[in-house]
Amino acid sequence: MSNVRPESMARIETKELADKFIAEQVAEVRAQVGDKKVLLALSGGVDSSVVAALLIKAIGKQLICVHVNHGLMRKDESEEVIRIFRDGLDANLVYVDATDRFLGKLEGVSDPEKKRKIIGGEFIVVFDEEARKLTDVDFLAQGTIYPDILESDGVKAHHNVGGLPEDMKFELVEPIKLLYKDEVRVVGKALGLPASMVDRQPFPGPGLGVRCLGAITRDRLHALREADAILREEFDICGLSQKVWQYFIAVPDMKSVGVKDSKRYEGWPAIIRAVNTSDAMTATIEEIPYEVLHKITARITAEVEGINRVLLDLTPKPVGTIEWE
Ligand code: XMP
């Protein structure tokens, strides 16, 4: 398949067009890989999930999905990957819980770029270790999509396996590389993936690692994950999750004094960030109704150990980036 989208290619907007695309790709992938095995790093993001579902349809257990849990996933995210792919689609799924390795490497590291490098580097090491345990794998599947090709050299910027060591030679399988993001979502739905997976908001490769600000500790990471789960739950309830482009909690490495059960209670603040954008280059702030903010604040301060204040980030991009680090 060439890397250029033909002008004649119709925009995949309907179930019928998605089904046609899926049938074509199933045939193409079968012709490409024959009876060989294919490896895929399945993060649980939209692109890798759609590639996984497509390849399971085409070649079943010849596809080996590796899901690396770096310990920086949102609440229940890895469990959802296992539920959907291993339990639901009977996928050949290798689950690697590398939490201790990642958090060990990140201990005491507060510089954001160093944190990103450690996370990206360790991901490749863990994936490489898993790949070497397998035999007869000739192909590597990737969730490259058309904007990745237009914006870069065609290799996913993060979580990419283009960084695998030179001696690991794979032929690439990239069935959705000519699709735009909205088309990937239509194809994902046609493949039967749940909306919770196909319509999910963007999530950075380094995950909660760039939202647990400064040097990550397990207790603060846990508080962040719980607070973020409450924010997402409440956005689902009031319908904001359908409308807001990206929303999350960041927890800085600082404490303030509070009071709980008539006792002094020192805790971290949870910072709410909810932004809208079309290209992530600039972003505006979602005006969250005050009653929703009050409910989220009440729940987070009551339910999350270690959080004693909830703050709202009102800064558009520029001047604030979407993430805090
Ligand atoms: P910023 O913070 O630069 O973010 O305004 C723009 C978009 O990119 C996401 N982001 C990342 N995605 N690896 C990723 O895969 C990263 O290191 C990273 N940093 C930011 C961010 O979530 C937002 O959608």
**CATH code of the domain containing 41:** 3.40.50.620
d(CA 122, CA 61) in angstroms, rounded, equals 27
Ligand 1 within 6 A of CB of 158:
yes
**Residue 83 DSSP code:** I
For residue 87 the two structure tokens come to: 């339990």
Query: Of ligand 1's atoms, which has the minimum distance to the CA of residue 317?
Result: 5
d(CA 11, CA 218) in angstroms, rounded, equals 45
Q: Is residue 172 domain-shared with residue 225, that is, in the same domain?
A: no
Q: Please give the residue range of the domain that contains residue 256.
A: 211-312
CA 134 to chain CA mean position, Å: 25
pLDDT digits (tens, 9 = 90+) for 182-209: 999 999 999 999 998 999 999 999 999 9
Q: Is residue 166 domain-shared with residue 249, that is, in the same domain?
A: no
Determine, yes or no, domain membership for 317: no
Taking the chain (325 residues) in runs of 10, the rounded mean pLDDT of each run is 92 97 98 97 96 98 98 97 97 98 98 97 96 93 93 52 65 97 97 94 96 98 98 98 97 97 97 96 97 98 98 98 97
Specify the CATH number for the domain of residue 259.
3.30.300.10
- H helices of the chain, in order, are 15-33, 46-59, 77-81, 99-106, 112-133, 146-151, 181-190, 195-198, 218-238, 290-303
Q: Return the exposure string of 101-124: e unless at least 16 CB atoms fall within 10 Å of the residue's CB, then b.
A: bbbebbeebeebeebbebbbebbb
Question: What separation, in Å, do the N-terminal and C-terminal C-alpha atoms of the chain show?
Answer: 38
Q: Is residue 153 domain-shared with residue 234, that is, in the same domain?
A: no
Structure confidence at residue 163 (pLDDT)? 54
Place of tokens 């079309």: 278
Determine, yes or no, domain membership for 2: no
Ligand 1 within 6 A of CB of 317:
yes
Q: Is residue 56 domain-shared with residue 181, that is, in the same domain?
A: yes
Ligand 1 centroid from CA 53, angstroms: 25
Q: Is residue 97 domain-shared with residue 138, that is, in the same domain?
A: yes
Ligand 1 centroid from CA 59, angstroms: 33
- 8: how many CB neighbours lie within 10 A of its CB? 5
Determine, yes or no, domain membership for 3: no
Q: Which residue puts its alpha carbon closest to atom 3 of ligand 1?
A: 321
Ligand 1 within 6 A of CB of 280:
yes
Structure confidence at residue 256 (pLDDT)? 98
Determine, yes or no, domain membership for 161: yes
Is the previous residue joined to 112 through a cis bond, with omega within 30 degrees of 0? no
Number of domains forming the structure of the chain: 2
pTM: 0.93
Ligand 1 within 6 A of CB of 206:
yes
Q: Which residue puts its alpha carbon closest to atom 18 of ligand 1?
A: 204
Q: What is the 3-state secondary structure (H, E, C) of 85-145?
A: HHHHCCCEEEEEECHHHHHHHHCCCCCHHHHHHHHHHHHHHHHHHHHHHCCCEEEEECCCC
For residue 189 the two structure tokens come to: 């739905």
Sign, Cα dihedral of 300, 202, 58, 37: negative
Mutate to test the pocket of ligand 1, among 244, 322, 324, 325 (most ligand atoms within 8 A of CB): 322
Amino acid letter, residue 175 = P
Ligand 1 centroid from CA 160, angstroms: 15
Mutate to test the pocket of ligand 1, among 271, 323, 324, 325 (most ligand atoms within 8 A of CB): 323
Structure confidence at residue 165 (pLDDT)? 62
Ligand 1 within 6 A of CB of 239:
no
